Amino acid sequence: MKGLILSGGYGVRLRPLTYSQQKQLIPVANKPILFYCIEDIINAGIHSIGIIVGPNKEQIIEEVSSVDWDAEITFIHQEYPGGLAHAVKISEEFLGKEKFIMYLGDNILLGGINGFVQEFSESGKEASILLTEVSNPEQFGVALVDWHKKVILELHEKPKDPPSNTAVVGIYGFTPKIFEAIKDIQPSWRNELEITDAIHWLIKNDFPVICNMVEGWWKDTGKPEDLLDANRRILDALVLKTGKGLENGGQIENHGSVQNSTLTGRIRIGKNSVIEDNTVVKGPVIIGDDCYISNAYLGPYTSIGNGARIIHTEIEDSIVMNGSVLIDADQIVESLIGKDVRIERSRKRPNGRRFIVGDNSSVVI
């Protein structure tokens, strides 16, 4: 069996962050979202993975290639956003005649896909999809299910009047029969080949599509609030490595230097990072490598990327990406701060706020 991860798209709901970086590379708990997908597929026993790339493809290729994965990675360029089924169509040469798992690269699934992959592999069916209950089904693909047989009866893409609250998670299992389905469907009103239409084709042609519910927690990280929620969930499940670096009864994994500061809760501190001058850190918190934190407060559910500097600033429930600097920045909460950002209080008069803000930004003061 092979894996196919979709890591293209423009990430418009995450602008301005996605003007300069691919959305699947945005870090959650200091790890790119895409890496969670790759790890899930490898942990399920799949070691041949194709990754669909589009805009910022060089970023994806460079970041993924920097890791020694226990898998052979192939990059497949999608020249334009033609839909999920189009991504499958252009991957036919790579996928060949094998079953495969398709995983949307902006999804995070705590608990992994091992059970889903095994059940699909043993089912003898042409397709399988994962489902979860949501409070806003009109924003998702929605499934009508015969739960007695565990098969899909109907699929509706973002319906105005949803027939159920059971949404399609971005993880699918297919056999090569899906290529036949895709060749027989037409582009939607969005001028895209929809995977829901291809699955409908299977159902209509008497190829049962089986399904299962997500066990645990799933998140589509398409919006800022989703990223922050995913960060909270992953930090809640933070497991510290055993052995060297563990302190405070195993609550702190410290690979840096801590001086005259107070640390409580589960905290991971990266290599060469320095925490000093009466800093207070309350976990769960993860701090990357080569960070400098002085006279600051880091509250629960905060992720600090590599090379960041936090000085005389209070921050919690936030993601700070690599290389960013916060100096005298007062209190920051529930925030996404991109790479190499600088936030600093001005001591000049008049005592006002000065902004240079890009398109689609949001500023709350």
Q: pLDDT at residue 267 above 90?
A: yes
Q: What is the pLDDT of residue 357?
A: 54
CATH number for the domain whose boundaries are 246-344: 2.160.10.10
317 versus 18: the higher-pLDDT residue is 317
> Of the spans 153-157, 169-173, 248-252, 288-292, which averages the highest pLDDT?
288-292
Q: Greater confidence, 56 or 58?
A: 58
Domain spanning 2-223, CATH class: alpha beta
Lowest mean pLDDT among 66-75, 118-127, 173-182, 267-276: 118-127
How confident is the model over 342-348, as a mean pLDDT?
Answer: 77
Report helix, strand or coil for 254. Answer: strand
- Report residue 169 as tokens: 């998670």
pLDDT (0 to 100) of residue 49: 96
The helix-helix angle for 57-65 and 33-43 (nearest 10°) equals 50
Q: Does 359 score more than 60 pLDDT?
A: no
Mean pLDDT over 16-36 rounds to 82
Given a contact cutoff of 8 angstroms between Cβ atoms, the answer to whether 121 and 1 are in contact is yes
Task: Tell me whether domains 2-223 and 246-344 share a fold.
Answer: no
**Is the backbone of residue 112 left (phi > 0), alpha (psi -120 to 50) or beta?**
left
* Per-residue pLDDT tens over the stretch 95-124: 999 999 999 988 888 888 998 999 999 888
Of residues 106 and 5, the one with the higher pLDDT is 5
Average pLDDT of the segment spanning 2-27 = 77
Q: What global pTM score does this model have?
A: 0.87
Cα–Cα distance for residue pair 190/138, rounded to 1 Å: 17
The average confidence (pLDDT) of the chain is 87
Q: Which range, of 199-203, 216-220, 312-316, averages the lowest pLDDT? A: 216-220
Q: Where are the domains of the chain?
A: 2-223, 246-344
**Do residues 357 and 341 lie in contact, with contact meaning Cβ atoms separated by under 8 Å?**
no
Report phi then psi at 87, rounded to 5: -60, -40
Average pLDDT over residues 125-136: 89
Task: Give the H or E element holding residue 153.
Answer: strand 151-157
Burial of 123 (0-12, 13-18, 19+ CB in 10 A): middle
